[in-house]
Amino acid sequence: MYDLIIKNGTVVSPSSSTICDVAIKDDKIVGLGFYEAAEGIRTIDATGKYVMPGVIEAHMHCMAPFQGCLGANTFYQQSISGAFGGVTMFMDFANVFPEKSVFEAVKERREEMEESAIDFSVHGKFVKSPPELVEEIPQLTEYGVPTFKMFMTYKKEGVMIDEETMIKVFEKAKEVGGLPMLHCEDNTMAEDAIEKVRKIGDLSWVNFSKTKPQKCEAAAFERACRLAEYVDCPVMVVHTTHKEALDVARRAHESGFPIYVETGPHYLTLFDDNYEKEEGYLYLCSPPLRTPKDAEDLWQGLQDGTISVTGSDDCTFDTNEKAAFLEKDENGNYIQDFTKVVNGMSGLEVRLPILLSEGAGKGRLTINQVCALTSTNVAKIYGCYPQKGIIAPGSDADLVIVDMDKEVTLSKDILHNNISYCLHEGFKVKGYPIMTIARGKVIVESGEFKGEKGAGQFIKRKINAQYLEKFGLD
Ligand code: URP
Ligand code: ZN
Ligand code: ZN
Ligand code: ZN
């Protein structure tokens, strides 16, 4: 009947926390209740611990050619690092360029991801894509890839979407039940601001964040929402950083229009004072880090349901890639030029610990909200619920066991990505995943990885309109 029992843990869903056992057979959850241990059945004692649905990462960039760099992790390494952070499924973006078939790019990405130890999926992406590529959306959706990212900036890098194409993507997505994902920064404003600081010869790290201020993000956010409302197509805005943008979503929500909002761990815990440091280039990402006050506004948005999901936007580059195009002065210091630094920060492994410690541990969120924001809502919005995102009979046995008393100092030495630094070096958290189970197999236990290269499976996703109608979800 079952071959693994997680005994006596507090089983968490978005709406409840219940002490019971979880019975697993092969790769599925088969029951919740109280089960007898018997010979041949492995029993894991989770007394005093939370048992949560495995974290789902819907936003990362691994082995993704961007601004002349590729990233430090292979997909296998990325899956190991994720597993230590309680992640049991992740999604990455197809590598597209203007003339390339998005469908072909998605299939290539799937091939590359096959080495993952955890389940995976792919998002499509539209850049300066000709109309015939937008026509691939029904085929993509049919294939199990109903989500597509678009950048409203990076025109010079050749990946910005034009608004005419964006509307076409919205229309096609609406027709077939797809969900567009948007990177919202106003390109006109950002490029103008960059040119101004270039003219005064100050491309310092500090000035990077000044070229992409809140207005820049809010303007694009507003534009994207209005266009989405015009087409009547729900959209997901990724990596949102401050209240001005959240207020745009709140307005849409008040009128009943579903705008889904994501924020990530670095915007909640790291601030723009990092750009004053010599090593500030490691913190360059778009949108840039903001202030502690902005972070509190984001916690508020997580708390009140304006923000539906968290995503790490993991983009792990080691110092050699971050600094690849920088020059040094006579003292051996980098000559600061933010235009020469690839954008992106790591975060896959620390998202759950940060939400547990800074969210649930500090009373900003309930453990149930952490569950929704790291797993259930992600599964619902991205179309893999209830196979993923919930501890219920019939669902995949993807679980993470959490010890809220475990204190950890984040450091490069304890993380499992392939880089020589940690953005959160010295950051103390209380509350940490101690065991990860993927498809019924223990893949992290007692600080050891026990998963298998290639064990992850491609998950076909299909968006359920019933969930998409609600922006705050349950
Ligand atoms: O700076 C960032 N966020 N880099 C990753 C690509 C993206 O925009 O999401
Ligand atoms: Zn982005
Ligand atoms: Zn991203
Ligand atoms: Zn390690």
Domains and CATH numbers, the chain: 4-52+392-449 (2.30.40.10), 60-386 (3.20.20.140)
**Strand ordering across the sheet containing 87-93:** 55-60, 87-93, 119-126, 147-151, 179-183, 235-237, 259-263, 309-310
What DSSP string describes 263-291? E-HHHHH--GGGGGSGGGGGG--SSPP--
| Per-residue model confidence (pLDDT) at position 474 | 67
How many other C-beta atoms are found inside a 10 Å radius of the C-beta of residue 339? Answer: 14
344 close to ligand 1 (CB < 6 Angstrom): yes
Could you tell me which residues are beta bridge partners of residue 403? Answer: 432
Q: Of all protein residues, whose CA lies closest to atom 9 belonging to ligand 1? A: 313
Complex confidence, ipTM:
0.91
241 close to ligand 1 (CB < 6 Angstrom): no
d(CA 363, CA 378): 22
168 close to ligand 1 (CB < 6 Angstrom): no
Q: Of all protein residues, whose CA lies closest to atom 6 belonging to ligand 1? A: 344
How many other C-beta atoms are found inside a 10 Å radius of the C-beta of residue 405? Answer: 11
pLDDT per residue of the chain (474 residues) written in tens, 0 to 9: 899 999 999 999 999 999 999 999 999 999 999 998 888 899 999 999 999 999 999 999 999 988 889 999 999 999 999 999 999 999 999 999 888 999 999 999 999 999 999 999 999 999 988 888 999 999 999 999 999 999 999 998 889 999 999 999 999 999 999 999 999 999 999 999 999 999 999 999 999 999 999 999 999 999 999 999 999 999 999 999 999 999 999 999 999 999 999 999 999 999 999 999 999 999 999 999 999 999 999 999 999 999 999 999 999 999 999 999 999 999 999 999 999 999 999 999 999 999 999 999 999 999 999 999 999 999 999 999 999 999 999 999 999 999 999 999 999 999 999 999 999 999 999 999 999 999 999 999 999 999 999 999 999 999 998 888 877 766
List, for residues 400-434, the tens digit of each pLDDT value.
999 999 999 999 999 999 999 999 999 999 999 99
Mutate to test the pocket of ligand 1, among 239, 281, 314, 342 (most ligand atoms within 8 A of CB): 239
pTM, rounded to two decimals: 0.97
List, for residues 236-295, the tens digit of each pLDDT value.
999 999 999 999 999 999 999 999 999 999 999 999 999 999 999 999 999 999 999 999
**Considering every ligand atom, which ligand is closest to the CA of 413?**
4
